[in-house]
Structure 1
Amino acid sequence: MNKKMTFEEALTKLSEIVSRMESGNEPLETSLKLFEEGSALAAFCYDKLQNAEQKIKQITEYKETGGDEDA
């Protein structure tokens, strides 16, 4: 997995993997590889969302405490 991948790219790729696996047309070995890649992509997306949530909390708290609006 490319670490410079955006959240949106990772989510699209993860959706494609889920569709392939749900089709039931992939051999076991391929399904295992897809599952491994999908797990890594899900973790990547989760980390991106956690970072975004933390940033939003910091900005919100800063604004609520009277921080500079240009920050």
Structure 2
Amino acid sequence: MGRVGRVQEEGVEKDRVEIDWDSLPYEKLVEKLDEVVQRLESGELPLEESLQAFETGMRIARAAERQLDRAERRVELLLQDGRTEPLPPRQGADDEDLPF
């Protein structure tokens, strides 16, 4: 789960929850990273908020990179083990269940 910390904002201390980015699916990380980039590119954030957004974006990007690295290792292991044959069709599967 996330950690809770204290952050000083405009002279007022507030609680800030740090998200465990590694627990989110890759697609959600990409979505969140896109939101951060849009906020930064808007040019409307004050300096401190820009720095915080950049820091958050870097954390998200690193978590996404770790997930991609794990996926790549899984593919490499499958190829090394010779498990390249297609999976058998699922019992009772129809076209509506397919992801594409």
Scaled to the shorter chain, the TM-score interval is 0.7 to 0.9
Aligned partner of 1:47 in structure 2 is 66
Aligned residues: CA RMSD: 1.5
**1:24: Cα distance to partner?**
0.4
In terms of fraction of residues, the more strand-rich structure is: 2
Q: Deviations over 1:41-68 (max 9, x none)?
A: 00000000000000000001111xxx5x
TM-score of the superposed pair, with normalisation by structure 2: 0.61
- Determine the C-alpha separation between the residues in 1 that align with 2:62 and 2:23: 14
Give unmatched runs, 5+ long, in structure 2. Answer: 1-18, 88-100
Relative contact order, CA 8 A, sep 6+: which one is greater?
1
Identity of aligned residues (%): 33
> Given the alignment, which residue of 60, 80, 99 partners 1:61?
80
In terms of fraction of residues, the more helix-rich structure is: 1
Give unmatched runs, 5+ long, in structure 1. Answer: none
TM-score of the superposed pair, with normalisation by structure 1: 0.84
State the number of aligned residues: 66
| Mapped pair 1:7 → 2:47 | no
